[in-house]
Amino acid sequence: MKPLGNIHPTADVAESAIVPPSARIWHYAQIREGATLGENCIVGRGAYIGTDVVVGADSKIQNYALIYEPAELGSGVFVGPAVVLTNDEFPRAVGVDGSQKTVSDWHPVGVTVGDGASIGARAVCVAPVRIGKWALVGAGAVVVHDVPDYALVVGSPARRIGWVGEAGIPLVGDHGQWRCPQTDRRYHELPSGELVPSEVTL
């Protein structure tokens, strides 16, 4: 089948979803009610965007990623293939009396992703959790704690093994600072353990 505009005809896009003409939605993707996509977003084959989820401009949601409400993604976010952003802190199909749970029995919690962050293929982010801006979550990681801005985290549970810059390349230590080998931009760690570009004054 040929695409209809920038939305493939096999995609399921709710009428109440806000999808700008510049967005591209591929085969069998589902965009639920009230979801909002920013300009130039790309949603890959079979991806799921939950009810009222917000995805910022220029973001890329790769094939079969599952983004459950109430997730909020900033601008320029990369979500790799088969990533899952969960929304139930204490999942159960039934209550203690054995009856099946309904929506009224459930308090959804979401994943927040900062501008420019990237989440590698098959990573799972267990809500409630925040992925900081420009952070990089390695493929297959299981994120159960907040990830600082610019952090590089891997493993299960995910732990920080370094820092990355806006280019996504690991930073190298350089005379008490951190430097991006591609852009030469420099960063420094605050006493709090956070990383900020060196030109930023606090």
| Shared-domain flag, residues 35 and 15 | yes
The pLDDT of residue 2 is 42
Whether this prediction's pTM lies above 0.85 is answered by: yes
For 4, phi and psi rounded to 5 degrees? -100, 100
| Shared-domain flag, residues 177 and 149 | no
Percent of the chain whose predicted confidence (pLDDT) is above 70:
96
Residues of the chain with pLDDT under 70: 1-5, 200-202
Closest by CA position to 85, among listed 47, 37, 58 = 47
The pLDDT of residue 61 is 98
| Shared-domain flag, residues 141 and 178 | no
| Mean pLDDT for all residues in the chain | 94
Closest by CA position to 38, among listed 14, 16, 55 = 55
Calpha distance 155→168 (Å, rounded): 18
What own/partner pairs with CB < 8 Å and gap ≥ 24 does 74-77 have? 74/113, 74/114, 74/115, 74/116, 74/117, 74/133, 75/38, 75/115, 75/116, 76/115, 76/116, 77/113, 77/114, 77/115, 77/116, 77/117, 77/118, 77/119
Which of the 8 DSSP states describes residue 18?
A: B
| Shared-domain flag, residues 155 and 188 | no
| Shared-domain flag, residues 20 and 106 | yes
Give the chain's domain count: 2
The pLDDT of residue 5 is 60
| Shared-domain flag, residues 188 and 157 | no
| Shared-domain flag, residues 136 and 200 | no
Residue positions counted in the chain: 202
| Shared-domain flag, residues 179 and 122 | no
The pLDDT of residue 103 is 83
- Which CA distances in Å does 114 have to 12, 29, 61, 102? 27, 23, 14, 31
Burial of 75 (0-12, 13-18, 19+ CB in 10 A): middle
> What are 44-63's pLDDT values in tens digits?
999 999 999 999 999 999 99
Which of the 8 DSSP states describes residue 158?
A: T
| Shared-domain flag, residues 80 and 143 | yes
Distance in angstroms between the alpha carbons of the first and the last residue of the chain: 54
CATH number for position 33? 2.160.10.10
| Shared-domain flag, residues 75 and 105 | yes
| Shared-domain flag, residues 137 and 41 | yes
- List the domain range (segments joined by +) for residue 182: 171-202
